[in-house]
Structures are given as structure tokens and as C-alpha cells.
Amino acid sequence: MTRAERIAACFLAIVAGPAAWLSDLFRSSRHFRLAVSLAVLALFLIPSSVSAQSDCLACHADKTMQDSSGHSISVDGDKFSASIHGSLQCNNCHADIKEYPHPDHIAKVDCKTCHADEGQKLSTSVHSSSKEHPCTSCHGSAHEIYPKTDSRSAVYPLNIPRTCGQCHSDGAMATKKGLPSVYPHYMDSIHGNALSKEGLLVAANCQSCHGSHGILSSKDPRSHTFKANIPKTCGTCHAKINDDYQGGSHGHGIAKGDLKAPVCTDCHTAHAILQPTESAFRMQSTPICGSCHKDKLSTYHDTFHSQLGLLGGYVETARCWDCHGAHEIYPASDPRSPIHPANLVVTCGKCHKGANKSFVQYQPHANAHDRRLNPALYFIRLFMNLLLISVLTFFVIHTVLWLIRSRFDQVRRNSGNGGDHA
């Protein structure tokens, strides 16, 4: 379509459109005076001013229409009128277009004009430097924005992960900025599964934890994902677990400002959250506790629980939280703790049917290398090691000498006989 044709088409739309409407009005004498006055008004105003969608769509409905840099500037009128902004006129947003023909280069639409709050939050967020249009990156095509409760919306709960994943996945924008690829982890997680497989609208999606317009870096103490704020963030849904956690040792640590204490994400991870009964989670959980409780991990490694557990498959063997509790962890001296001496028979009895007072004297973190703490075990291990070393040392020497001597003897005997193998 040439420029001349386009102008002709616009003129036709602007003049012929209202003319047809006016001719309808003429049929009703009641509206005659109004029609005449409107016609006069139209003749004065319409050729130089544009406001109605249809005016703009006369040109922009053309699907092949592009600007000088090759971007599509066509608008699907049907979709636009069905969108949340469908009742608006084009120049409500494209405010710098006052008349036709309009300049080749028009200003970027500023959504803040109406959405001031969101704009304010966005300008202080991690996304403030986005070179792309910050609103449409998430909300989708500017002329096809739907309310977030509409399943066509890019920010409908079930669509949010895909929307954020456009940047936050392998090889996309976030990777280029040195951020981890979180989308695939999320999709395989318990939240991602609930959302994508079950279509559960209440399943946590990206913005449930990170917020939407005012997303802050997790290093910012005001961020939902700042370490100390994470229990509260997860607690938005997992209220009971948050209460348990806040009552336990780890929760107390965080409340006191000790950021070394673990929060939800330290054990469950942030994006790749697994069902805790899953074997993969049971396999990965122990080293996580052990990353702080190093001495406990090493003594646990010496026990049958760990030896069994490390082989995979047999995941029922006791992991840290089977005995210590998971969220409401108390010190062993606290009567509420499952490892308080009074509770051990019950705690051990969960797996070991028939556990009695003597049975629970078993030390799940015994250290056979510590003479002071576990003298009996220390000396038993020492005796067994000495036995092993002395028996093997003696017999290795004995066998080697024997081998050499009998080979020597055999060769001499054979050559003395005239050599059987000569």
C-alpha cells in the first residue's frame, strides 16, 4: 500500500464513515437539527483531528504495516476491543498524536500516566533498567492486555512461569546477565507440577514469592526473598509450618538476626522444591544439614543409618529430620524435642518396633575416634584395627617369603631332575 493510497483510505474512513452515520440520522426528523449541527461540526473538525479507534484502524488494521525500522505497527481491532483497554481511545495512550497525518516517530507510551503506583514500584525494582518496554515484557502485546483473572492474560497464574521464563531460563536474557536459569527447576518442582499438571491456581508461581512490580534483589532487606523474610513469604501459604518453624531453634536464630540459621529455601531450595517424601529429597537433605552441622554429619556417616541411606533405593533409613524434627527443631534438652531422653523410645520406635529404654541408649552420632566421649567404642575400634593390621602384616610377609622360597626350590628341583620344563 503506497502512501497516497493510505491517505486516500484514511480520508474515506474519516469522511465516508461519519457520512453514512449521518444519513441514518437524516431518516429521523426528530434528530434532524442535531444531525445538521453534528455534520457542520464534523466538517470543521474531522479532517484535522483523530480520536476514534476506527480512525486509526483505518490504517493500522493492515497486518503488514511496519514502521521505518521494520517493527509491526498493525493492531488487531477485534482483540483490542476485547482487551481490558478496549474502551479507551488510541490517543488516550498515544497521547502525542493529536492530528492526522501524525509524525513518523511518536513517543513511547507511558503506562505510568494511569498506572502510577505500579510504575513507581517498577522504577525501584530489579527490572527498572529493562531496555525492553518494562510493562509489555510481562503483560504481553500492548493492544491485547487482559485482566490477570483472564486465562488469556500473560500474568494469569497458570501463565506466569512461562512469562517470566522467557527471560529466566537457559540461554535467555537472565543467563546473559549471569543469573541462574530457574524456569526449568521451577517447572520440575512440586509447585511447578501443581501448577502445570493440576492447573492449581493457588500453587505458588513466580510472583507469589517474588511479588510483581516491586521485585527487589534478594540481598535487599525489604525483599520478599531476603533470607530473613523467607519464612514469612512461604508462610503466606504454609502458615502452620511457619508457626512451627518460628518456634524452633532455627526460627529463633533468624528472629535474632542470625542469618546463618537456615530458612525454608536452605533445605527445600528455592525453585527445585521436591516432595519431602521423595527419595531424591531424602538423598539430598542430609548433606544440607551437614553443611552447617559438620561434626554431626561425619559421625552420622559412620553409622548404619548413613551407610544404608547412601546407597539410594533404601531411603527409609533415618535422616536428620526423621529424629530431630524438620521445622520445629528444639535442642535435645527441650522436652518438646523428639530427641529429648523422655521421647526417644517413641522417636526410635517409629522405625524400630519394640524399641526399649536400653535400645535408645544407642548413639546415632557416636564417634569411635573420640576416646573421651566414647571410650568403649574407641578401644573396641583400636583393638579391631590392631588385630587387622597385625594379622595382615604377619601373613603378607609370611606369604611373600614363602612364595619366593618355594619358587626357588621348585626351579632348583626341576633343573636337578634334568629339568621337567627344559
Partner 1 sequence: MPELAQAVAPEVKTEAPASERFFVRFTRQQRYMHAVLFTTFLGLAGTGLPLRFSDSIWARGMAGAVGGFGAILFFHKFCAIALTVAFLIHVKEIVTRGIYRREKGIFWGATSMVANWKDAKDLFAHMRWFLGLGPKPQFERYAYWEKFDYWAVFWGMIVIGFSGYAMWFAPFFARFLPGWALNAALVIHSEEGLLAILFIFSIHFVNTHLRPDSFPMDMVIFTGVESEKEFEHKRPQEYARMAREGKLEARLGQAPAAWFVRFARIVGFTAIFIGVTLLILTLTAYFD
Alpha-carbon separation of residue 173 from 153, 212, 310, 381 (angstroms): 22, 18, 38, 57
User: Residue from 107, 202, 259, 387 that binds partner 1 (CB under 8 A)?
Assistant: 387
Burial class, 145, CB count within 10 angstroms (exposed 0-12 / middle 13-18 / buried 19+)? buried
308 to 327: interface string for partner 1, x by CB under 8 A: x-xxxxx-------------
Does 301 help bind partner 1 (rule: CB under 8 A)?
Answer: yes
Does 361 help bind partner 1 (rule: CB under 8 A)?
Answer: yes
Does 414 help bind partner 1 (rule: CB under 8 A)?
Answer: no
Are the beta carbons of 134 and 120 closer than 8 angstroms? no
Does 296 help bind partner 1 (rule: CB under 8 A)?
Answer: no
Q: Is 49 helix (H, G, I), strand (E, B) or coil?
A: strand
Angle at 319 between CA 288 and CA 239, to 5 degrees: 70
Shortest Cβ 379–partner 1 spacing (Å): 10
Task: Please list, in sequence order, all residues whose beta carbon lies within 8 angstroms of the beta carbon of residue 133, skipping any fewer than 6 positions away.
Answer: 108, 142
Which of 16, 388 has the CB closer to partner 1? 388
Does 362 help bind partner 1 (rule: CB under 8 A)?
Answer: yes
Cell of 289: 544439614
How far is 330 from 338, CA to CA, in rounded Å?
8
Does 380 help bind partner 1 (rule: CB under 8 A)?
Answer: yes
Shortest Cβ 267–partner 1 spacing (Å): 21
Are the beta carbons of 73 and 97 closer than 8 angstroms? no
User: Residue from 123, 128, 149, 307 that binds partner 1 (CB under 8 A)?
Assistant: 307
Number of residues that bind partner 1 (CB under 8 A): 49
The piece of 32-40, 54-62, 287-295, 356-364 that touches partner 1 (CB under 8 A) is 356-364
Burial class, 269, CB count within 10 angstroms (exposed 0-12 / middle 13-18 / buried 19+)? middle
Does 114 help bind partner 1 (rule: CB under 8 A)?
Answer: no
Residues that bind partner 1 (CB under 8 A): 301-304, 306-308, 310-314, 352-356, 358-363, 366, 368, 374, 376-377, 380-381, 384-385, 387-388, 391-392, 395-396, 398-399, 401-407, 409-410
